[in-house]
Each structure stands twice: as structure tokens, then as C-alpha cells.
Amino acid sequence: MITVKEVSSKKELKEFVLFSFELFKNNPYWIPPIIADELESFDKEKNPAFASAEAHFYLAYKNDKIVGKIAVIINWDEVNQLGKKKVRFGWFDVIDDIEVTKALLEKAFELGRKHHMDHIEGPMGFSNLDKVGVLTEGFDQLGTMISWYSPPYYKEHFEQLGMVTEKEYIESYFSMAAVNPAPFQRASKMVKDRYGLKVLNFTKTADIMPYVDQMFDLFNETYARLQSFVAINEETKSYFKKKYINFMNPEYIKFIMDSNDNMIGFTIVMPSFERALQKAKGKLFPFGFIHLLQAKKNAKEVVFYLIGVHPDYQNKGVTAIIFDEYYKVFEEKKIEKFIRTPELVENLAMQNLWKNFDPTIHKRRKTYRKNI
């Protein structure tokens, strides 16, 4: 018999997080989160997402053993600003038992019916900055710290339960050794001269902070045309600055400004922390932070995190400037591989930014929908 219980204590919330560690303990492709960070994400007092979202966390039990989990979320900004009567579900992990999946999804339907929503969609988090989707291809590829891993039976369960594809994403990479920098160096100078653009490079995190709000304003403007986009609010901007910027390599953050010092482009790249996170096994202490610091300094792969190019400057060669600047850093650090995290298939503007690098698509993922 399967029973589903809503998490109601800190102990149960920790069990919610740790279930994934048990489920994937022998999987070489799963990337464990830092347990403390995951718990903070679910803390209503610390995560500003709760200011505009309602979230419930559930554990499924079979024979008194945890066999699945799900977070059920309503993003009220999405409902009220975009008019989408949607219940999100995320942080979904489950054993290969479709009845467990069915029981967990029923909790999303229950919340939807309570608030007169018309469909559920997931897996997805609170906002566009969270992880998204289940894998549909690339099950034998190493995950990233900003994406969920999932075995093939997740999508099979969803499809067997009558869920349909809502959004599709691709993930790709390209080898630095295969890139000829000369064309981008020439194009970078030409584009800078033509449009009066300049690049801000950084060696200190403190110097980045005054620009972060402007970066998120541009992020909102860049993605506003996507039908699924919910703008990042002021509270989330502050939370991001506090939690993440200090941990990023300042030399991996690039801002492009116009002649009036308005930001027209930005990119954030991170060292690949994936192997370090596997070694840390969810804990910063006693040795986890050492693995992460070593990766921050010595990783030979980098992960593309965020990019924004003002709509007026898309298809005008801004990518050449971005890559020219990164190539200088990557060459110095002997970076070998550039990994791009999930991008919507419909986001052709984003894909066009990188088409000249001949990326290899190695993963695909989807979110699934079902009407209530």
C-alpha cells in the first residue's frame, strides 16, 4: 500500500532531501546538491521565492519506506501576471513504480482543484532560475549542478499517465580545441567599433555587485518575449547576490555596456563543480569545501549559466565580443570544454548566439503537462 504524507517537520524535510541520495547512490551521472543549500531553498524564512509562491512537500511511503517525493508549487506571480492557472511540481524523485508516481502527482491535482487552476506542469522549480525538466535523452551523460538527473522511467511514467509535452529543452557542449578564435577576434573589434560597445571585466567580486541589479533587469527584458517567462523580482535579485555571486569566479562574469554605460549584454560562466560535488557527497565539511575550492581554481571544463543580450542587439554579433573575452580567460586557464545548460527549443535567438561554435547536443529534456 502506498501512502503520501505532507512534510511537516525539519526532520521530514531533511528526509525529503536525502531520499535522492539513497535513490541515486550508485548512479555515476547524478550530481548531489549540497544538503544545507537544498534545505535553505525550502525555508520560507530564507528563500524569497515564498513571497510570491505557495509550496507543499510530500513523501510517498511503501511498507514504511520512503519511495518517492514531490514539491507542489503555485507561483502566484505567474498566475496573476501571466494569467496561467498552473500548478508546478518539482524536486520529483521516485522508484520505478508508476503507482507511486500517480499518487504523488495527485497532490498537484489536489492543490490545483483547491485554487481553481486548470493544469499541472513539471518538473520545474519556483522560478526560471531553478532546475527544470526530466531527461528524454542523455541518460548516460554527467549531469550539472544546475539541472536534475532523471532515469528513463520518469518520462515513461508521465506519458503512461496521460501527460503531454509542454516544453522541450536542449543541452550541448563544444570543445575549446576545435574553436578558431581569429574570426571572433576580428568580429569583436568590428562590433565594438560599430556600436560603441565596451566590456567590463572583473578580478574582484566586490566590483561586480553594483551591476547585478542592472544585470537582472536586462535578464528580464531579454526573456520577456518567451511565453513561459516570469520576471525576477527585487527580493530574488538580493537573494542571488548574497548566495551566489560571492562563490563565482569574477573573471567568469562579463558585462557589455553601450556608449551611455547602459548594459546591453551579460554572461555568467562557472567552473564545472560536478565531480567536486560528487566527492563532497552533499556536505561542505569536513572536506567538501576543499573539493569545491579546487574545482573553482583548477576545473578544465566550464558550465554556461546565464546570458542576456538586449533585444536591440541580438543578431548583431555581440556573441563575438563575449567569446573573444572568454577565450582570453579560457586560454590562460587551459579550459577544454564549454557546457551549455538547458535552453528552450523555441528560444531560437539563444541558439543563434552559439551556432557558429558547432555545438554537440548531448541531452534533451522536457516538462510535462496534464489538465486538471
Whether residue 147 has pLDDT greater than 90? yes
Is there a contact between 221 and 311 (Cβ–Cβ < 8 Å)?
yes
Q: Lowest mean pLDDT of 36-50, 174-188, 229-243, 264-278, name the range.
A: 229-243
Domain-embedded: residue 15: yes
Q: Are residues 243 and 345 in the same domain?
A: yes
Mean pLDDT of the chain: 94
Q: Residue 334 region, left (φ>0) first, then alpha (ψ -120 to 50), else beta?
A: left
Predicted confidence (pLDDT) per residue in 253-271, tens digit: 999 999 999 999 999 999 9
pLDDT the model gives residue 228: 67
Residue 58 host element (H or E): strand 53-62
| Assigned domain for 238 exists | yes
Give alpha helix (H) positions in 24-166.
35-41, 76-82, 98-114, 152-160
> Is residue 79 domain-shared with residue 218, that is, in the same domain?
no
| Residues 365 and 158: beta-carbon distance below 8 Å | no
Phi, psi of 257 (to 5 degrees): -115, 150
Q: What is the mean pLDDT of residues 119-140?
A: 95
Residue 53: domain span: 8-168
Residues 188 and 231 reside in one and the same domain: yes
164 exposed, middle or buried (CB, 10 Å; 0-12, 13-18, 19+)?
exposed
Residues 237, 137 within the same domain? no
**In the predicted structure, residue 356 carries a pLDDT above the cut 80:** no
2 is a domain residue: no
Q: How far apart are CA 201 and CA 57, in angstroms?
A: 41
Q: What pLDDT was estimated at residue 241?
A: 82
Average pLDDT, integer, range 141-160: 97
**280 and 352, same domain (yes or no):** yes
3-state SS, residue 37: helix
Same domain, 16 and 144: yes
Q: Is the pLDDT of residue 352 over 80?
A: no
Q: Where is the domain boundary, 149, 168, 187?
A: 168
Task: Give pTM, 2 decimals.
Answer: 0.93
User: Does the pLDDT value for residue 226 go beyond 90?
Assistant: no
Domain-located, residue 151 = yes
User: Are residue 286 and residue 161 in the same domain, yes or no?
Assistant: no
Q: What's the confidence (pLDDT) of residue 354? A: 75
pLDDT single digits (tens) 57-106: 999 999 999 999 999 999 999 999 889 999 999 999 999 999 999 999 99
Q: Cβ contacts of residue 242 below 8 Å, gap of 6+?
A: none
Asked if pLDDT for residue 227 goes beyond 70, the answer is: no
Domain end call among 168, 202, 221 = 168
User: Diameter of the chain by CA atoms?
Assistant: 69
Same domain? 104 vs 156 = yes
Query: What does the pLDDT read at residue 187?
Result: 92
- CA separation for the pair 323, 176 (Å, rounded): 11
What distance lies between CA 290 and its chain's CA centroid? 24
CATH number at residue 325: 3.40.630.30
Residues 216 and 295 in one domain: yes
- Indicate whether 327 and 182 sit together in one domain: yes
Alpha-helix residue ranges (DSSP H) falling in 123-181: 152-160
For range 123-137, the mean pLDDT: 94
Q: Same domain for 195 and 256?
A: yes
Number of domains in the chain: 2
Are 148 and 235 in a shared domain? Answer: no
* Segments of 134-194 assigned E as strands: 134-137, 164-175
- Give domain status of residue 235, yes or no: yes
13 in any annotated domain: yes
Mean pLDDT to the nearest integer, 352-369: 89
131, 151, 168: which is the final residue of a domain? Answer: 168
Residue bearing cell 520529483: 92
Residue 148 lies in a domain: yes
Contact of 257 with 198, CB cutoff 8 Å: yes
